[in-house]
Amino acid sequence: METFLLLFITFFGYVLMYRFYGHFIGKAIFKISDSARVPSVEYNDGIDFVPTKKEIIFGHHFTSIAGTGPIVGPAIAIIWGWVPALLWVFLGSVLMGAVHDFGSLIISMRNEGKSISEFTAKYINPRTRIFFFVVVFLALWIVIAIFGLVIALIFNMFPSSVLPVWLQIPISVYLGYLIYRKGGNVMLWSVLAVITLYLTMVLGNFLPVVMPAVLGIPPTGAWTILLLIYAYIASVLPVTTLLQPRDFINAFQLLIAMALLTVGAVIASVGEGMQLVAPAVQLHPTEAPSMWPFLFITIACGAISGFHSLVASGTSAKQVKSENDSLFVGYGAMLVEGSLATLVIIAVAAGIGMGYQTADGQTLFGLNAWNSHYASWTAAQGLGSKVGAFVIGAANMISTLGVPHSLAVVIMGVFIASFAGTTLDTATRIQRYVISELAEDLHIDVLKNRYAATAFAVGSAALLAFASGADGKGALTLWPMFGAVNQTLAALALIVITLYLKTKGGIKWLIAGLPAAFMAVMTLWASLLNQISFVDKSNLLLVLVNGVIIFIVVWIIGEGLFRFFAPAAEKVSEAKEHI
| In the predicted structure, residue 22 carries a pLDDT above the cut 90 | yes
pTM of the model: 0.87
What is residue 578's predicted lDDT score, i.e. its pLDDT?
42
Q: Are 151 and 403 in contact (CB under 8 A)?
A: no
Percent of the chain with pLDDT over 70: 95
Instruction: Please list the residues that pair with 320 across neighbouring strands.
Output: 52
pLDDT greater at residue 157 or residue 377: 157
Summarize pLDDT for 233-292 with one digit per residue, the tens. 998 998 888 888 887 788 788 888 889 988 888 888 776 667 888 899 998 888 788 999
* Rounded Cα gap, residues 383 and 72, in angstroms: 7
* Rounded Cα gap, residues 190 and 175, in angstroms: 7
| In the predicted structure, residue 441 carries a pLDDT above the cut 50 | yes
Instruction: Please list the residues that pair with 209 across neighbouring strands.
Output: none
Other Cβ atoms less than 10 A from the Cβ of 301: the count is 28
Helix (H) or strand (E) run with residue 364 in it: strand 363-364
Amino acid at 387: V
| In the predicted structure, residue 17 carries a pLDDT above the cut 80 | yes
Burial 36-55 (b: 16+ CB within 10 A, else e): bebbbeeeeeeebbbbbebe
Other Cβ atoms less than 10 A from the Cβ of 479: the count is 16
What is residue 28's predicted lDDT score, i.e. its pLDDT?
94
Angstrom distances, CA of residue 328 to CA of 106, 293, 438, 577: 12, 31, 30, 22
Amino acid at 249: I
Helices 69-77 and 333-349: angle between axes, nearest 10 degrees: 40
CATH H superfamily, domain 2-570: Amino acid/polyamine transporter I (1.20.1740.10)
3-class secondary structure for 45-60? CCCCCCCECHHHHHHH
